[in-house]
Amino acid sequence: MIYPICVYGNPVLRKKSIEIDENYEGLEELIASMWDTMYRAEGIGLAAPQIGKAIRLIVIDAESLAEEEPSCKGLKMVLINPEIISWGDEQVFLEEGCLSVPGIRAEVKRPTKIVLRYQDEQMVEHEKSFEGFAARVIQHEYDHIEGKLFVDSLSSVRRSMLRAKLQAISKGKAKASYKIKPH
């Protein structure tokens, strides 16, 4: 099933998502729907709040970036209850976009390395380090389950420049090649 994508202004994007376990009803189907929704929207990652569910579930497939971003080679995974357990000291600015903030791209400063603990779709626990763009993609998606959006971290000047655009998105006036859900 393809879900509409909740966009800026939708309160579900501001909730801190809750953990799930193997008894979560329809989990397998939900994960399949998240893949379908993400690919339909041509995204490289999707967090459950973006389809209206405030649970700690993320899908990522950044393989399409592997040529320019070697760290994304083979980066396809389901993250259940992920937890970033450490961050590297080095931080860099790089441009990001988000399916929930259509039409806006901005430079965001993030650590270049993280260590992540998560469960896969079989509920098996892993602990793994990521760097480069892979670490960025994961941090971006992780922010979603914490109720944060990439535009939150922009300078107030930059954000006020985007205010009209953000307001338009929250009124459902954004142009996107996929169905959006502002409320």
Instruction: Return the range that interacts with Zn ion (CB under 5 A); candidates 3-11, 26-34, 78-86, 95-103.
Output: 95-103
Span interacting with Zn ion, options 16-24, 26-34, 83-91, 97-105, rule CB under 5 A? 97-105
Strand partners, 76: 61
Which CB, 125 or 135, lies closer to Zn ion?
Answer: 135
Minimum distance from CB of 116 to Zn ion (Å)?
17
Residue 118 or 142 with smaller CB distance to Zn ion: 142
One-letter-per-residue 3-state SS of the chain? CCCCEECCCCHHHHCCCECCCCCCCCHHHHHHHHHHHHHHCCCCEEEHHHHCCCECEEEEECHHHCCCCHHHCCCEEEEEEEEEEEECCCEEEEEECCCCCCCCCEEEEEECEEEEEEECCCCCEEEEEEEHHHHHHHHHHHHHHCCCCHHHHCCHHHHHHHHHHHHHHHCCCCCCCCCEECC
Is 42 designated active site? no
Minimum separation from the CB atom of position 23 to Zn ion (A): 28
* Cβ 144 to Zn ion shortest distance, Å: 6
Please pick, from the candidates 30, 54, 57, 98, the single residue that binds Zn ion as defined by CB under 5 A.
Answer: 98
Residue number with CB closer to Zn ion (23 or 37): 37
* Active-site hit among 42, 83, 107, 141: 141
List, by residue number, the catalytic residues: 141
Contacting residues toward Zn ion, per CB under 5 A: 98
